Amino acid sequence: MFPQNRPPAPLQPPPGSSASVVAAAAAAAAAASGTAQSLKLTYPETLDRIKEEFQFLQTQYHSLKLECEKLATEKTEIQRHYVMYYEMSYGLNIEMHKQTEIAKRLNVICAQLIPFLSQEQQLQAQHLSQHAQGLPIGPHPSGLPHPGLALGGGSGLLALSGALGAQLAAKDERAHLEAVAAAAAAAEHHRGREIFNRKLGNDGPTVLTSESNHRCLLSFPAALGLRNPLAVQGAYPPGAFGLPPPGVNGDLAASYGAGLHLVSPQMNGAAAAAAAAAGYGRSPVGYESPHPHMRVPGLPASLQSAASGKPAYSFHVSADGQMQPVPFPPDALLGPGIPRHARQIHSLSHGEVVCAVTISTSTRHVYTGGKGCVKVWDISQPGSKSPMAQLDCLNRDNYIRSCKLLSDGRTLIVGGEASTLSIWDLATPTPRIKAELTSSAPACYALAISPDNKVCFSCCSDGNIVVWDLHNQTLVRQFQGHTDGASCIDISNDGTKLWTGGLDNTVRCWDLREGRQLQQHDFTSQIFSLGYCPTGEWLAVGMESSNVEVLHVSKPDKYQLHLHESCVLSLKFAYCGKWFVSTGKDNLLNAWRTPYGSSIFQSKESSSVLSCDISPDDQFIVTGSGDKKATVYEVIY
């Protein structure tokens, strides 16, 4: 553009430009320079202004955040109220249908008895019957308690539940309630997992939750009271409607006994017992009829409980879901091999919450698992007060969840809140750990041993079932299927089938030869314990909902048992298969007849009963409880 080595000439105004134009250009340049200087001077002021605006926005954001958290808390509280009212409405609806069914059966009985009356009495009875059928039942005003109910502290809740019942008629409201109920079910699932992870309040186990990989301590009140933040008093009688409302945990169900009673104080004992039998559907804790097998002929099974004065607690559930009280056979409690009661013979002070127990084949030694150790007790000596050995395993602060003996009594396998299983050699003068099996799961909830003592199965907190070769001490296989922690396990006597229960509300059956899942049973409650009958056909399942269900492994029929008032924490079949025991957070040890669940005996301890075992000769029962001791019972036949 320019000749080489020649700088460009300065810009010159075009020829013929006037001096005024040149002056104007110079003035414009000077003005631009002044504006730049003024802008430079305002930069600090602008930054200060931005800083002030940012601080204002930050303050506003903080206040909005607090308001949002407050609204979220209020929303959660309202949802809890809403779910509680929904549960109450559901329970009242069940009670209404139950009373309707009772009324129908009473009509049938009246129709059968009327022909035996005199002619005059028959006419009078028929007239009264027709008059009663024609009586209109007006709608109960929402918000007002029924005058026939003696309400305790829960009258306001029942009144509100009446208002909720009126709203249920709207379709959109029902849909919304179903959504709320689903949310409640999720919350109950989490709470149920907490119950399982820490079965007891005071010094319960430290656990690893599935939501995170870090260790967290789940604490309960020492009194094991309501877990729900809403202090409900007098909502239902204990065991009202036959079972707690769906989604109500065991503690809440157990606390229902404070207020509402459907039995009038003017009733005599027989009438009160009949009303309790019709309305409650379950016996009070500790009540035991000396002759529960005795039945009055000629009355329907559903009313036998009213006639005998004891509420029905065992129900047969058919394939279509119909529930009927079970008429027990006359020899339910009298057959060979059926115990009469159990007598406490030893109290073993372990010193920590006893989450696992087992008894040796020789019935001489009892093993109790607590925090960081297993203690060995010699129960052949009367009044043994101290353990004969202490096996320190896992970490010091980790709880033992399960311990199993091989049939020769020389090897003990221990699992708990750690990723390793400890294998103890008991044949040496001083017991020692001879091997450790390590898995990827952070905790083991339950153990099972194959009948040939060659394989060990561990239920893991991640839902997997790990299969271990005990001879080579290697991991052989993993069964994957449970979507939440696998909580309990049992194996068939022939060693071909494995049954597992989980916190995902399912029970699964696995084929050990083919390595695949054979069956799956879905429930509405988390599974805490199970046992497979040694003689086959029946599987007993203990649930967070306080029910025990006895399933037929090849038929849809099952029995539902309702004597526990809180979650069922452990379950074990006698080796003869004719009876089994279950323990619960309600401090109860219940013995049941297989499969229909006639109550053989019941024992109440001073704290939650977390674990149990039965000796191979069916002569002893050992339990582990929350009051830091194990109890040994002698079974009396």
pLDDT of residue 596: 94
Averaged pLDDT, 322-340:
90
pLDDT band at residue 104 using 50, 70 and 90 as cut-offs:
confident
Q: Is 465 helix (H, G, I), strand (E, B) or coil?
A: strand
Q: Which segment, 157-171, 310-324, 492-506, is predicted with the most confidence on average?
A: 492-506
Using alpha carbons only, what angle is made at residue 467 by residues 461 and 471, rounded to the nearest 5 degrees? Answer: 130
pLDDT band at residue 321 using 50, 70 and 90 as cut-offs:
confident
Whether residue 540 is predicted with pLDDT greater than 80 in this model: the reply is yes
Q: Which residues of 366-387 are buried (b: 16+ CB within 10 A; e: fewer)?
A: bbbbbbbbbbbbebeeeebeeb
pLDDT of residue 188: 53
Digit-coded pLDDT (tens) for 139-187: 444 444 343 333 333 333 333 444 444 444 444 445 555 555 555 555 5
End-to-end CA separation in angstroms for the chain: 121
Nearest to residue 339, comparing CAs of 594, 569, 541?
594
pLDDT of residue 455: 95
Q: What is the pTM of this model?
A: 0.58
d(CA 247, CA 249): 6
Q: Which residues pair with 325 in a beta bridge?
A: 315
pLDDT band at residue 419 using 50, 70 and 90 as cut-offs:
very high
Lowest mean pLDDT among 265-274, 436-445, 495-504, 566-575: 265-274
d(CA 350, CA 368): 7
Whether residue 223 is predicted with pLDDT greater than 60 in this model: the reply is no
Q: Which residues pair with 315 in a beta bridge?
A: 325, 560
pLDDT band at residue 633 using 50, 70 and 90 as cut-offs:
very high
Nearest to residue 213, comparing CAs of 461, 504, 436, 396?
461
pLDDT of residue 151: 36
pLDDT of residue 571: 97
pLDDT band at residue 222 using 50, 70 and 90 as cut-offs:
very low
pLDDT of residue 588: 96
pLDDT of residue 469: 94
Averaged pLDDT, 429-437:
92
pLDDT of residue 215: 34
Q: Which segment, 18-32, 305-319, 337-351, is predicted with the most confidence on average?
A: 337-351
Is residue 355 within 8 A of residue 362, CB to CB? The reply is no
Higher model confidence: residue 288 or residue 391?
Answer: 391
d(CA 64, CA 516): 54
Q: What is the DSSP string of 470-536?
A: TTTTEEEEEE---SS-EEEEEE-TTSSEEEEEETTSEEEEEETTTTEEEEEEE-SS-EEEEEE-TTS
Could you tell me the two tokens for 413?
A: 């396998």
Name the H helices within 205-326: 250-254, 269-280, 301-308
Digit-coded pLDDT (tens) for 48-65: 889 999 999 999 999 999
pLDDT band at residue 133 using 50, 70 and 90 as cut-offs:
low
Q: Is 392 helix (H, G, I), strand (E, B) or coil?
A: strand
Could you tell me the two tokens for 359?
A: 């008894």
Could you tell me the two tokens for 428?
A: 């040496």
Higher model confidence: residue 323 or residue 239?
Answer: 323
Digit-coded pLDDT (tens) for 360-370: 999 999 999 99
Lowest mean pLDDT among 12-26, 33-47, 276-290: 276-290
Whether residue 485 is predicted with pLDDT greater than 70 in this model: the reply is yes
Q: Hey, what amino acid is at 7?
A: P
pLDDT of residue 109: 86
Is residue 354 within 8 A of residue 370, CB to CB? The reply is yes
Is residue 422 within 8 A of residue 394, CB to CB? The reply is yes
d(CA 462, CA 284): 37
CATH code reported for the domain at 350-438:
2.40.10
What mean pLDDT is reported for the chain?
75
Domain chopping of the chain, boundaries: 350-438
Within its chain, how far is the Cα of 174 from the centroid?
Answer: 26
d(CA 61, CA 67): 10
| Phi, psi dihedral angles at 91 (to 5 degrees) | -65, -40
Whether residue 424 is predicted with pLDDT greater than 50 in this model: the reply is yes
Residue 245 makes CB contacts below 8 A (sequence gap 6+) with 87, 88, 90, 91, 94, 236
